[in-house]
Structures are given as C-alpha cells and as structure tokens.
C-alpha cells in the first residue's frame, strides 16, 4: 500500500465513528498495534522532546532501502497517535516519507493536535520521522557518489 | 451562602461558552481566571472616554488618563495595605516583577553570597534567582517541602546566615495549593536582616493579602490570575528598598532630566515604570480588585474552601488516585495522579467533555520531579465555580478512567 492509500484507509476507518469517545477509544486500540521499540532504545537519545508525555522513536533501513519505525509512549493516546504515523510512514522509502503531506490527520479530526499549544508533540513526532528519512536519504546519496567515483 | 454565585456567573460572559458541544467547566483558574463584565467594561470605557498618554500632556484627556491610572495605583496600594501608593509599581505580571528585582539585585549580591528559595517555586520565582547566582557566583539554597507539600520553618532557620542576601518564596504553591507561613518566615529572615520577596501570583484572588502585616520587602502578583486582564501586574516594594535599588529599564516616565553626559531619574514609583505603561490594564486590575472586594475576599475564601473540601472528598473515593499536596493550610488547587494512567491522557479526554484542567509540570518541574513524578492533573478553582461543576468533573473523570484503565 502506498502512503496515500494507507491514509485513505485510516480516514475510512475513522469515518465510522461520529462520537469523539469512540474515536479516541479506537485511537487507544491502535496504540496497542504499534510496533514497539526495542527496550534498549528507550533512552534519552531516542526521546522526542516537546511532548508532555514521553515518546521514543527509532528508525532503521531494511534490505530494500525502506525506513522501518518502531516507537513507544507512556501515554496511551499519544501512543495511538504515534501508531497512526508509524502505520502510514513505516516501510516506505525516505523520499516517499519526505513527500507525504499527512492530510489524513486533518481529515480524521486530529488537527487540533497539530497546534503548537498541544503538548503531545505530534509536530515534533512528524519532524523526527522526517529527520530520520532525510538522514537515510543523505547516507544513500553519499554511498551513490562513492560508487560513481 | 455568602456569595450569590448565580449572579457572579452571569458577570462572566465566557462561562456561557460550550466546548465540544458541552457546557464549559473551567477549572484551570491557577493558569488564568476569566474576566467579569465589570473589568471588560472598564477597559472599553477607558478607550471610549479617557484614552491619552499619562503624565505627559497638559490637555484634559491626558489629565483624565493620568488621574485614572494613579487612582488605580492608590486603590491597589490600599487593598494590599501598602503604606504608600508609590510602593506599587505596575509591571507586566509577577514574572516581570520578580525578574525586575532579580536583575537589579545584582548590586547587593557577591560571589559566595546566598539566595534562599523553596523547592515549590514556580519557574518564574526560581530561574531569575538561579541566573542571578550564575551571574554573581552566589549559591542558590533550596528549602525542600515534606510529603504533604509543606515547608518546615526550622529549615529556614538553618538555611539563613550572614551570607544570605534574600529569601524568595511563593505565598501559595501553584501545584500543591499550600499556603505558606510567609509572615513567620519573613520574621525569621528579618532576624538575620535578610529581605524577603513573596510571589503572590496564586494568592491575590484567593486569600487576603496584607503586605504590612507580612512585613515583606517585596510582594508580586499578576492581574490575570485575579480576574484582571493579561499583561498587568504589580511589584510591591518597601520605599526604603525601592529607593536604594537602581533603575532597571530606561526611557519615558522614569526620566527626570536628560543631558548627553548624564541623566537623573524620576522618583518612585515612576523610576521603575519605563515607557508608556499599560494604562487600560491598570484600570482593569483596579476593577478586578474592586470586584473581589465587593464580594469580600473572606467570603470568597470560605466558599472556595468548601468547594476544595468537596472536590477532595470526591476524588478520594476513586481507587488508585493520589492527591499531591495535602497541606493543612491549603486553597483552591488540587493536583492528583492516578496509578497507571498518564496525566496527559486524562487531560485530553476531559477536554473532549468540556472540562478545562491542566496537566503536566505546571511550570514547577523541580517540584513535580521531587515527588517522583513527570506531571500531575491539576484542578484549580475560582469564585465562580460550583459544586455542580465539580460533580460534572467527577462524572467525566470516572468515564475517562473507564476508557483508560
């Protein structure tokens, strides 16, 4: 599934709920599906700052050059939000991740979490995921240049 | 009941708002209070009838504005029992008041000296002193709180010595609600000839404030936590101290005469009010204090204490809920945690139910950490809150916990 397709699927899933409580209950459920970060990476180095709750995020490249994210949070709603992002962005190439506009967050009614006054750090999470993608992209470019030489 | 809560609620237009389709239950008053029409109208009236720059013009409008501004100062001075209106300096708020003193206090602080604060201070009454210590090489001495969230005056006795230059502490903790024995602590400091600054940000709307009785050298508060607008606050200082401290910002009203080689400064209170002041804010603050006084601070305190007791008893019924801050002398603030549930999750879901509370470290990170926590949920009360609102809050909390546990 492409990022766009995954986003669309999530928007459809969320459209079933018209009550905010059901929506959040679902978000909490989603948190349980999050590919959990290896305990050894649950350190300050992998902690995303700017969150009222703690969020750890780790990324690595798989054999096909796709970024695989794992994460965790001590707050269940935050965990649900990270889970959504991981669901959409994980196992995609750095370029795909950097090109994603993540409009679905708006469409499922989580836009309020994008405001800088919200302390859950959704913005920081996205930035950190893009940061990883950019770093991997840079690394592979360097490799390419070396090969061309 | 001593307060007509129904009428009071009508005075606050914002309380009619709904959030997510639910009536607003505003329990974040320690962050900022709402404003009554009396305050809003006063500010509108100023711009409609009196606006002009103060202390400058010979024209009638300037005279009107100046009279209004100075009578606000006089009223506030009188309310807090300052011995002279010139001891009331208008600032942007408690944070600016404290920074003002911490900046110019450098004159009196040398390497090896000590500043005494407590572990329950808001960052605004901690970082300015910490940075003063960094600049001067002085030591920051922190008096801890006990498990109940109270200070031990004996600890002050032990901490005070001939190196101490100042004691700075909160009148009321914004996290724990503890009312500190500021008069007693001031007395202890005075025995060592040490001046005292009290951060009254959480006190002014909730308990009587009498600076003459406390006898502190400095007292600070913000208007916006006491039904007044944002961007206005007070620094009270004893004349003797304000006179011997140097000015802190330059220009405007604080000038007496300027020559290219030298400037002489205006007298109190203008010496510390550089630039055009926040006149409408000062008038709004006067209106707010008048509003408090009209209802009687003792009545407000009694009513808020009843709400606090009710909320405390209700919260104590919830399993695995722990109230942080159980001081015998306490007011208007309840912080709590629920085992195994993150404060942020609770706050987010309560918001969805129209309930405004605050979660996190409440700008008092070292204090929250000293309790071994990363954050609490804080409910904070004002005179317009009701028992019914606390019931709504409890219903919502129980529902939220059932979702999260």
What tokens were used for A123?
């913005």
Select from B293, B320, B342 the last residue of a domain.
B293
Distance of CA B273 to the CA centre of its chain: 20
**How large is the ipTM?**
0.86
Q: Mark whether B19 and B68 lie in a shared domain.
A: no
How would residue A122 be classed by pLDDT, with cut points 50, 70 and 90?
confident
Q: For the segment B284-322, what is each residue's pLDDT rounded down to a tens digit? A: 999 999 999 999 999 999 999 999 999 999 999 999 999
Nearest-by-Cβ selection for A77 from B20, B345, B360 = B345
Q: Mark whether B323 and B278 lie in a shared domain.
A: no
More confident residue, B264 or B133: B133
The secondary structure of B68-120 as a DSSP string is HHHHHHHHHHHHTT-SSGGGEEEES-HHHHHHHHHHHGGGG--TT-EEEEETT
Q: What was the pLDDT predicted at B252? A: 83
CATH number where A35 lies: 3.90.1010.10
Q: Report the candidate in B229, B251, B253 with the shortest Cα–Cα distance to residue B54.
A: B253
Mutant choice from B342, B346, B356, B374 vs A, greatest count of A C-beta within 10 A: B342
- A101-125 mean pLDDT: 74
Q: Mark whether B143 and B286 lie in a shared domain.
A: yes
Q: What was the pLDDT predicted at B374? A: 86
Q: Mark whether B101 and B19 lie in a shared domain.
A: no
Query: Which residues of B are marked as active site?
Result: 363
Range of the domain at A83: 3-148
CATH number where B256 lies: 3.40.640.10
Which chain A residues contact residue B344 at CB under 8 A? 52-53, 75, 77-78, 119-120
CB contact B374 to A (< 8 Å): yes
If one counts the domains in chain B, the total is 2
Q: Mark whether B254 and B308 lie in a shared domain.
A: no
Select from B293, B326, B352 the last residue of a domain.
B293
Taking CA atoms, B39 is separated from A4, A117, B224, B248, B281, in Å, by 51, 27, 11, 30, 9
Which chain B residues contact residue A24 at CB under 8 A? 348-349, 352, 403
Q: What was the pLDDT predicted at B55? A: 84
The order of strands in the sheet holding B218-222 is B88-91, B233-237, B218-222, B196-199, B164-170, B114-118, B139-143
Q: What was the pLDDT predicted at A143? A: 77
Give the chain B residue nearest A24 (alpha carbons). B349
Bridge-based pairing of strands A67-73 and B25-26 is: unpaired
Range of the domain at B184: 40-293
Q: Mark whether B212 and B225 lie in a shared domain.
A: yes
Q: Mark whether B101 and B189 lie in a shared domain.
A: yes
Q: For the segment B149-161, what is each residue's pLDDT rounded down to a tens digit? A: 999 999 999 999 9
Which chain B residues contact residue A52 at CB under 8 A? 343-344, 359-360, 375
Q: Mark whether B282 and B306 lie in a shared domain.
A: no
Outline where chain A has alpha helix (H).
3-15, 20-32, 76-89, 94-99, 104-107, 122-148
Q: Mark whether B253 and B353 lie in a shared domain.
A: no
- Helices and strands: H and E segment counts in chain B: 14, 17
CB contact A119 to B (< 8 Å): yes
If one counts the domains in chain A, the total is 1
Q: What is the mean pLDDT of chain A?
A: 88
Cβ under 8 Å to B: A residues 56-85: 74-78
10 Å CB burial of residue B317 (0-12, 13-18, 19+) is exposed
Q: Mark whether B314 and B284 lie in a shared domain.
A: no
Q: Report the candidate in B265, B260, B235, B220 with the shortest Cα–Cα distance to residue B247.
A: B265
B120, pLDDT greater than 90: yes
Place of tokens 């360097």: A142
Which chain A residues contact residue B360 at CB under 8 A? 52, 119
- B61-76 mean pLDDT: 94
Cβ under 8 Å to A: B residues 348-367: 348-349, 352, 359-360
Maximum Cα–Cα distance across chain A: 59
A11, pLDDT greater than 60: yes
What tokens were used for B77?
């001075």
What tokens were used for B387?
């028992």
How would residue A91 be classed by pLDDT, with cut points 50, 70 and 90?
very high
The secondary structure of B217-231 as a DSSP string is SEEEEESGGGTSPTT
CB contact B376 to A (< 8 Å): no
Q: Contact at 8 Å (CB) between B385 and B4? A: no
Answer whether residue B52 is part of any domain: yes
Q: Which of A3, A34, A48, A51 is catalytic?
A: A51
The conformational region for residue B251 under phi > 0 = left, psi -120 to 50 = alpha, else beta, is left
β-bridge partners, A146: none
Q: Mark whether B276 and B335 lie in a shared domain.
A: no
Q: For the segment B257-270, what is each residue's pLDDT rounded down to a tens digit? A: 899 999 999 999 99
Q: Mark whether B100 and B218 lie in a shared domain.
A: yes
Answer whether residue B266 is part of any domain: yes
What tokens were used for B107?
């004159």
Asked if A76 and B348 come within 8 Å (Cβ–Cβ), the reply is no
Place of tokens 């995609």: A92
Nearest-by-Cβ selection for B344 from A20, A28, A75 = A75
What tokens were used for A94?
């750095």
β-bridge partners, B23: B18
Which chain B residues contact residue A28 at CB under 8 A? 403-404
Asked if B374 and A54 come within 8 Å (Cβ–Cβ), the reply is yes
Q: How many CB pairs under 8 A join A and B?
A: 40
Exposure string (b/e) for B117-150, b if CB count within 10 Å is 16 or more?
bbbbbbbbbbbbbbebbeebebebbbbebeeebb
How would residue B137 be classed by pLDDT, with cut points 50, 70 and 90?
very high
Answer whether residue B186 is part of any domain: yes
A110 CB contacts (<8 Å, ≥6 apart)? A81, A84, A122
A112, pLDDT greater than 80: no
Q: For the segment B8-35, what is each residue's pLDDT rounded down to a tens digit? A: 999 999 999 998 788 999 999 999 999 9
Q: For the segment B222-261, what is each residue's pLDDT rounded down to a tens digit? A: 999 999 999 999 999 999 999 999 999 998 888 888 999 9
């Amino acid at each position: 599934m492409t990022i766009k397709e995954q986003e669309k699927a999530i928007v459809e899933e969320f459209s079933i709920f018209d009550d905010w409580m059901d929506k959040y209950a679902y978000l909490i459920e989603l948190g349980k599906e999050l590919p959990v970060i290896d305990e050894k990476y649950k350190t300050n180095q992998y902690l995303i700052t700017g969150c009222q709750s703690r969020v750890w995020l780790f990324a690595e490249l798989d054999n096909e050059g796709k970024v695989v994210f794992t994460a965790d949070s001590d707050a269940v709603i935050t965990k649900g939000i990270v889970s959504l992002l991981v669901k959409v962005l994980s196992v995609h190439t750095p370029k795909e991740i950097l090109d994603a506009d993540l409009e679905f967050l708006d469409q499922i009614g989580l836009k309020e979490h994008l405001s800088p006054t919200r302390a859950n750090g959704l913005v920081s999470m996205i930035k950190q995921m893009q940061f990883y993608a950019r770093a991997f992209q840079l690394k592979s470019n360097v490799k390419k240049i070396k090969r061309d030489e | 009941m001593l307060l007509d809560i129904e009428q009071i609620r009508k005075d606050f237009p914002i309380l009619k708002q709904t959030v997510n389709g639910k009536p607003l239950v505003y329990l974040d008053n320690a962050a900022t209070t709402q404003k009554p029409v009396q305050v809003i109208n006063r500010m509108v009236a100023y711009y409609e009838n009196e606006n002009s720059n103060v202390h400058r013009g010979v024209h009638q409008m300037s005279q009107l504005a100046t009279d209004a501004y100075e009578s606000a100062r006089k009223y506030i001075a009188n309310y807090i029992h300052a011995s002279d209106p010139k001891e009331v300096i208008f600032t942007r708020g408690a944070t600016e008041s404290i920074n003002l003193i911490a900046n110019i206090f450098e004159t009196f602080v040398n390497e090896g000296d000590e500043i005494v604060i407590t572990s329950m201070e808001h960052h605004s009454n901690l970082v300015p002193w910490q940075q003063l210590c960094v600049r001067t090489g002085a030591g920051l001495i922190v008096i801890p709180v006990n498990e109940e969230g109270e200070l031990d005056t004996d600890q002050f006795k032990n901490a005070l010595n001939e190196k101490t230059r100042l004691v700075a502490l909160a009148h009321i903790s914004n996290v724990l609600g503890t009312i500190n024995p500021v008069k007693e602590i001031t007395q202890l400091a005075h025995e060592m000839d040490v001046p005292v600054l009290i951060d009254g940000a959480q006190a002014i709307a909730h308990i009587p404030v009498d600076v003459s009785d406390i006898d502190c050298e400095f007292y600070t508060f913000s208007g916006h936590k006491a039904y007044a607008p944002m961007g206005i606050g007070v620094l009270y200082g004893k004349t003797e101290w304000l006179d011997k401290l140097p000015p802190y910002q330059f220009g405007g009203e604080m000038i007496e005469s300027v020559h290219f080689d030298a400037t002489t400064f205006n007298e109190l209170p203008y010496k510390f009010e550089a630039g055009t002041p926040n006149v409408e804010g000062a008038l709004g603050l006067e209106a707010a204090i008048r509003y408090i006084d009209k209802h009687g601070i003792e009545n407000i305190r009694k009513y808020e204490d009843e709400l606090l007791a009710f909320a405390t008893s209700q919260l104590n019924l919830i399993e695995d809920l722990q109230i942080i801050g159980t001081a015998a002398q306490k007011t208007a603030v309840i912080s709590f945690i629920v085992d195994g549930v993150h404060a942020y999750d609770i706050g987010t879901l309560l918001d969805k139910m129209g309930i405004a509370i605050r979660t996190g470290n409440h700008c008092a990170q070292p204090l929250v950490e000293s309790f071994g926590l990363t954050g609490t949920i804080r409910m904070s009360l004002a005179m317009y809150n009701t028992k019914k609102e606390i019931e709504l809050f409890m219903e919502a909390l129980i529902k939220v916990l059932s979702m999260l546990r």
